[in-house]
Amino acid sequence: RVFLCFSPSISKDPEMLVDLQYSLANSYASTPELRRTWLESMAKVHVRNGDLSEAAMCYIHISALIAESLKRRGYWRADKAGMSCVSPEESPVFNCSSLLTSSRDQDTSFSMGWAAFMCISPNVKEEGAMKEDTGTQDTPYTEDTLVEQLELCVDYLWKSERYELIADINKPVIAVFEKRRDFKRLSELYYDIHRSYLKVTEVVNSEKRLFGRYYRVAFYGQGFFEEEESKEFIYKEPKLTGLSEISQRLLKLYSDKFGPDNVKMIQDSNKVNPKDLESKYAYIQVTYVVPYFDEKEQHDKRTDFERHHNINRFVFETPFTLSGKKHGDVEEQCKRRTILTTSSSFPYLKKRMQVVEQQSTEMNPIEVAIDEMSRKVSELNQLCNMEEVDMIRLQLKLQGSVSVKVNAGPMAYARAFLEEKNAKKYPDNQVKLLKEIFRQFAEACGQALDVNERLIKEDQLEYQEEMRAHYRDMLTELSGIMNEQIPHTRQPGSERHSTY
């Protein structure tokens, strides 16, 4: 495996190279210094490829490794700290407040070993799997080694724009310098935390940070992919990497390996039966996926950072019709939602992880309408409730909601499923639910118009009136379809406050 790491073919395949280095790092679980060496090698590969979040995670794992090694050596009198019996399997979710400094005559939170880093990433429990060996006792680590390593972590958290983690990395270091009465270092640490939170307030929910995009990649072809054959992975790609970009990268990579005439890309997201594929080709299927959150997570994960940190579930949707066509009218359009779970959470030591669980559900046409309209309501409400409203996104959503073609958009769903002659074809409870969602949609559009009116400049007044006219037309039609009056009441204080 060491030889493979230095072979020319592997060096051109960053995912395979990091996988090999990861395997080597795991094989040295009983020798912290050698495991650290391979984790550092992985970090260097990530830095070279611009994957700075993954580099930061490598350095955080090294910090957890050093802390665990020191704890097992009794460096902080771990028996007194009462944490010696914690195993990776038990892996409690530690309250991050426990990382805050305590009185100076007590051990620092580093005495918890790997567990001190759980609130940064649940993946660090891997460092608790360290085997007891002479290698553990021979490591030349000290508290200063750990502090220096954490300074490197902070550096890469700045570079990867994961500012929210900087305070959690610095808090246990603060305890060290409080104990030493090193007030100069303390002032520097607190200033660093101050700067990180200032940066968070500047960029939170602004979409200025690009945490990456995610893709499901599946490999088919036993004669080609060997261990990867019929396996699915989630790839984390930098910034705004598009589907065509990652597809071309993988096509070139594997064409160089197997020959350009032997590799084919599967262009859709449909389920693949390997028996239907020709054995003389290597097949690669790439599908765009997004992080998946259940209802509780949707509520709890409010910021862009939270929606791209410690995530291990992803979702993609495949449209289909019962007639066999991919797309049809709204009355026949179905979709399949597939949720994928990975072996660990992103960001991680690696930028690709194997899918270990898959769940699929199919939606009939009215369920598709319910799902799509619920999403529109949620998006409009989220945009209206932002501290700093993103006017471009708000106006795009408004335009797509109240000013659309006759046979498209929200009103197409209303006509297809809520008109009296059509509603009889569908379950009563689903029709009632869709009606309630349309009431919420009308209210959300009204609120969005009020927010837009309050914030626009004079040169957009005509645009605002046009949007409001479209909105009134939509309410009139919706009222007729649902046989009830759908009102629009302006929000208090929504009038323009202008000096024009």
pLDDT higher than 60, residue 85: no
**Number of alpha carbons in the 13 Å side-chain half-sphere of residue 139:** 30
Q: What backbone phi and psi angles, to 5 degrees, belong to 353?
A: -135, 145
Query: What pTM was estimated for this model as a whole?
Result: 0.86
pLDDT band at 78 (very low <50, low <70, confident <90, very high): very low
pLDDT of residue 207: 78
Contact at 8 Å (CB) between 33 and 135?
yes
Q: Using DSSP bridges, classify how beta strands 232-237 and 352-363 pair: parallel, antiparallel or unpaired.
A: antiparallel
404 exposure class (CB count in 10 Å sphere: 0-12, 13-18, 19+): middle
CA distance 249 to 254: 9
Over the stretch 338-377, which tens digit does the pLDDT of each residue have?
999 999 999 999 999 999 999 999 999 999 999 999 999 9
Specify the pLDDT at position 108. 46
Which residue would you say has higher pLDDT here, 77 or 373?
373
Whether 289 has a pLDDT exceeding 80, the answer reads yes
Q: How far is CA 248 from the centre of its chain?
A: 23
What average pLDDT does this structure show over 178-192? 96
Q: Contact, 247 vs 286, CB < 8 A? A: yes
The answer to whether residue 433 scores a pLDDT higher than 50 is yes
Q: What is the pLDDT of residues 109-147, one digit of tens each?
A: 778 899 999 999 999 999 998 776 655 566 789 999 999
469 phi, psi to nearest 5 deg: -65, -45
**Residue pLDDT, tens place only, 16-50:** 999 999 999 999 888 899 999 999 999 999 999 99
Q: How many CA atoms lie within 13 A of 185 on its CB side?
A: 15
DSSP annotation of 272: P
Task: Copy the structure tokens of residue 341.
Answer: 């779970």
Span 189-238, pLDDT tens digits: 999 999 999 999 999 877 789 999 999 999 999 889 888 889 999 999 99
pLDDT for the residue 222 = 83
Tokens of 206: 């602004």
Percent of all residues in the chain with a pLDDT value above 90, rounded to a whole number: 70
In the predicted structure, residue 422 carries a pLDDT above the cut 90: yes
pLDDT at 493 exceeding the cut of 70:
no
CA distance 420 to 471: 22
Least confident of 88-92, 370-374, 417-421, 477-481: 88-92
How far, in Å, CA of 267 to CA of 260, rounded? 17
The DSSP secondary-structure symbol of 491 reads P
Q: What is the mean pLDDT of residues 312-329?
A: 94
Fold that domain 369-482 belongs to in CATH:
Methane Monooxygenase Hydroxylase; Chain G, domain 1 (1.20.58)
Supply the CATH classification number for the domain 10-76+106-132+141-202.
1.25.40.410
Q: Decide the pairing of beta strands 232-237 and 311-320.
A: unpaired
pLDDT, residue 134, reads: 52
Q: CA 394: distance to chain centroid?
A: 23
Model confidence at 87, pLDDT cuts 50, 70, 90, reads: low
Above 50 in pLDDT, residue 103? Answer: no
* Range among 82-86, 208-212, 314-318 rated most confident: 314-318
Percentages of the chain per state (helix, strand, coil), in multiples of 5:
55, 15, 30
Neighbours of 396 (CB within 10 A): 12
Give pLDDT, residue 159.
97
In this prediction, residues 391-398 reach a mean pLDDT of 92
- Of 61-70, 77-86, 279-288, 435-444, the poorest mean pLDDT is in 77-86
The residues near 479 (Cβ < 8 Å, ≥ 6 apart) are: 485, 486
Cα–Cα distance between 409 and 404 in angstroms, integer?
A: 6
Please give the pLDDT value at position 172. 87
Which ranges in 160-203 belong to alpha helices (H)? 166-179, 183-203
* DSSP three-state, residue 335: strand
Q: How far apart are CA 233 and CA 340, in angstroms?
A: 9
What is the DSSP-derived secondary structure letter of residue 163?
G
Query: pLDDT band at 96, cuts 50/70/90?
Result: very low
* CA 86/CA 472 separation, integer angstroms: 62
Cβ burial 261-270 (10 Å sphere, 16+ → b, else e): eebbebeebe
Q: Residue 260 pLDDT > 50, yes or no?
A: yes
- For residues 133 and 135, give the distance between their C-alpha atoms in angstroms, rounded to a whole number: 5
- Spatial contact of 110 and 67, defined as CB atoms under 8 Å apart: yes
Classify 105 as helix, strand or coil.
coil
- Where residue 81 falls among pLDDT bands split at 50, 70, 90? very low
CB 486: neighbour CB atoms within 10 A?
19
C-alpha 96/C-alpha 90 separation (Å) is: 17
Question: How confident is the prediction for the chain on average, in pLDDT?
Answer: 88
Give percent of the chain above pLDDT 70.
Answer: 87
pLDDT of residue 92 exceeding 70, the answer is: no
| The predicted structure's pLDDT at residue 227 | 82
Query: Quick one: which H or E segment has residue 482?
Result: helix 461-482
Task: Confirm if 190 and 101 have CB atoms less than 8 A apart.
Answer: no
Domain ranges of the chain: 10-76+106-132+141-202, 213-363, 369-482
Collapsing DSSP to helix, strand or coil, 278 comes out as coil
Q: How far apart are CA 436 and CA 11, in angstroms?
A: 56
Spatial separation of the C-alpha atoms in residues 341 and 229, rounded to whole Å: 18
pLDDT at position 112: 86
